[in-house]
């Protein structure tokens, strides 16, 4: 802070020195004003501000160079994004036994969990994962956080692989709301609109009440359904298929988006909309260094071009015969002199 105070002091000193020089220069110009500016003795209206422009230019150049002198050198190297500036993705994964049924994918030859893993892998390849921290919540007849705020993608891939998470829960009915409630607890303390909530499930019955209220940290919700929504498979004495109506209802009640991931991956347009990273504007990203560079550029250009502008446009008075009048005289045709007129002029000359 003391060093930057010296920079401002140097700037004020340079401004005062240039102001004194301008006062002395103005006195000398006043003596030859008629010779420099014509009969009126006045320059062009804009040229009257030339002293102020020079003072401002020297001040800006002094401040910019002084600031660059005291600032530490900047290294342009790849910097890791701190965790405080990262965004979050919370994945609620349905791990109920029905997710092991093989009726998913374009050819209906994948298990629902494998299809969810494929859709998740597609998303990880198309989002800026270096800017995100990933969390996974396993959901069956309850919920358990598997990993919170990890940067290791292999951990997430392993969870979506052959990890038998259904054995971490007692047998029972699937409760999707429990997974949402656990995701809400995890995302509660994070910054507003910094989290994307994604749910993978084949659907189940949803009660009319009990939907958890999303905190301000969750900006978007994406519900992805897996499994054949038309042809089901038997499990535990009942027919199981993707309940797209239930999943769409959850997305609507959460103010999110439903996507049928059984046939297609999440579209790039939708994915780019959900994973947009709020960035500062170019003006907000300017630091003291950039302002110093701008001041040096403006001050240097003003001092370089001001003398030329004063030379050509400092006064409206132009001494001598106008060039246009000379061209007009040269363009006039010369009248021929008759023989009689020529003899008369010679006789007059002899006398």
How would residue 303 be classed by pLDDT, with cut points 50, 70 and 90?
very high
Which of 249, 274, 299 is a domain's end point? 274
The mean of the pLDDT values for the chain is 83
Residue 260 lies in a domain: yes
- For 222, residues 6+ apart whose C-beta sits below 8 A from its C-beta are 196, 197, 198, 199, 251, 256, 257, 259, 266, 270, 274
Provide the domain limits for residue 128.
Answer: 83-274
Residue 218 lies in a domain: yes
Q: Is the pTM of this model over 0.95?
A: no
More confident residue, 248 or 328: 248
CA terminus-to-terminus distance, the chain: 95
Neighbours of 98 (CB within 10 A): 26
Asked if residue 90 and residue 20 are part of one domain, the reply reads: no
Residue 350 lies in a domain: no
Q: Residue 282 has which token pair?
A: 């170019």
**CB distance 119 to 104 below 8 Å:** no
More confident residue, 30 or 331: 30
Residue 9 lies in a domain: yes
User: Residue holding tokens 């709020």?
Assistant: 278
DSSP-based helix, strand, coil % in the chain, nearest 5: 50, 15, 35
Nearest Cα residue to 93 out of 173, 198, 200, 184: 200
Which of 246, 274, 302 is a domain's end point? 274
- For 197, residues 6+ apart whose C-beta sits below 8 A from its C-beta are 90, 92, 180, 183, 187, 214, 218, 220, 221, 222, 254, 256
- pLDDT at residue 332 tops 80: no
In whole angstroms, give the CA distance from residue 111 to residue 98: 9
Count of domains for the chain? 2
Give the mean model confidence (pLDDT) for residues 218-227.
90
Asked if residue 237 and residue 169 are part of one domain, the reply reads: yes
Residue 21 lies in a domain: yes
Asked if residue 213 and residue 105 are part of one domain, the reply reads: yes
Asked if residue 238 and residue 134 are part of one domain, the reply reads: yes
pLDDT in tens, 44-103: 899 999 999 999 999 999 999 999 998 887 765 445 556 566 789 999 999 888 888 888
Asked if residue 328 and residue 209 are part of one domain, the reply reads: no
Which of 274, 298, 328 is a domain's end point? 274
- pLDDT at residue 298 tops 50: yes
Asked if residue 255 and residue 119 are part of one domain, the reply reads: yes
More confident residue, 14 or 339: 14
Residue 347 lies in a domain: no
Asked if residue 41 and residue 160 are part of one domain, the reply reads: no
More confident residue, 326 or 198: 198
Q: Residue 291 has which token pair?
A: 């302002």
Q: Give SS3 for 101.
A: coil
Asked if residue 163 and residue 43 are part of one domain, the reply reads: no
Asked if residue 258 and residue 292 are part of one domain, the reply reads: no
More confident residue, 338 or 327: 327
Q: Which of the residue ranges 25-39, 202-216, 270-284 would you say has the lowest mean pLDDT?
A: 270-284
Residue 166 lies in a domain: yes
The CATH number of the domain holding residue 260 is 3.40.50.410
Element housing 89 (H / E)? strand 87-94
Residue 92 lies in a domain: yes
pLDDT in tens, 112-161: 899 999 999 988 888 888 888 999 999 988 899 999 989 888 889 888 88
Asked if residue 251 and residue 112 are part of one domain, the reply reads: yes
Asked if residue 24 and residue 129 are part of one domain, the reply reads: no
pLDDT of residue 78: 45
**CB distance 43 to 312 below 8 Å:** no
Nearest Cα residue to 202 out of 295, 109, 98, 103: 98
pLDDT of residue 176: 86
Q: Give SS3 for 273.
A: helix
- Express as a percent the part of the chain with pLDDT over 90: 31
Residue ranges in the chain assigned as alpha helix (H): 2-31, 33-37, 50-70, 112-126, 153-160, 176-187, 244-253, 268-274, 288-313, 323-331, 339-350
Asked if residue 333 and residue 189 are part of one domain, the reply reads: no
């Amino acid at each position: 802070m003391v060093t930057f105070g010296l920079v401002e002091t140097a700037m004020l000193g340079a401004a005062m020195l240039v102001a004194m020089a301008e006062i002395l220069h103005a006195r000398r110009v006043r003596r030859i004003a008629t010779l420099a500016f014509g009969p009126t003795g006045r320059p062009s209206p804009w040229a009257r501000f030339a002293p102020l422009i020079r003072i401002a230019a020297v001040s800006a150049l002094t401040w910019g160079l002084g600031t660059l002198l005291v600032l530490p050198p900047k290294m342009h190297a790849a910097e890791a994004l701190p965790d405080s500036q990262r965004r979050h993705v919370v994945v609620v994964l349905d791990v109920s036994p029905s997710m092991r049924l093989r009726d998913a994918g374009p050819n209906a030859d994948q298990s629902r969990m494998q299809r969810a893993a494929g859709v998740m892998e597609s998303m990880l390849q198309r989002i800026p994962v270096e800017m995100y921290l990933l969390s996974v919540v396993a959901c069956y007849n309850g919920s358990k956080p598997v990993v919170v705020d990890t940067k290791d993608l292999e951990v997430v891939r392993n969870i979506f692989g052959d990890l038998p998470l259904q054995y971490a829960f007692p047998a029972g009915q699937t409760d999707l709301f429990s997974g949402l409630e656990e995701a809400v607890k995890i995302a509660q303390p994070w910054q507003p609109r910094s989290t994307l909530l994604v749910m993978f499930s084949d659907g189940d019955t949803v009660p009319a009440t009990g939907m958890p209220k999303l905190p301000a940290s969750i900006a978007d919700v994406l519900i992805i359904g897996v499994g054949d929504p038309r042809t089901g498979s038997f499990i535990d004495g009942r027919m199981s298929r993707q309940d797209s109506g239930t999943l769409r209802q959850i997305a609507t009640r959460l103010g999110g988006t439903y996507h049928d991931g059984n046939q297609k991956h999440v579209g790039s347009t939708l994915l780019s909309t959900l994973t947009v990273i709020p960035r500062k504007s170019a003006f907000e990203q300017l630091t003291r260094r950039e302002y110093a560079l701008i001041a040096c550029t403006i001050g240097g250009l003003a001092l370089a071009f001001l003398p030329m502008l004063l030379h050509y446009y400092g006064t409206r008075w132009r001494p001598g015969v106008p060039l246009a009048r000379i061209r007009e005289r040269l363009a006039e045709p010369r009248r021929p002199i008759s023989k009689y007129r020529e003899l008369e002029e010679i006789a007059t000359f002899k006398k």
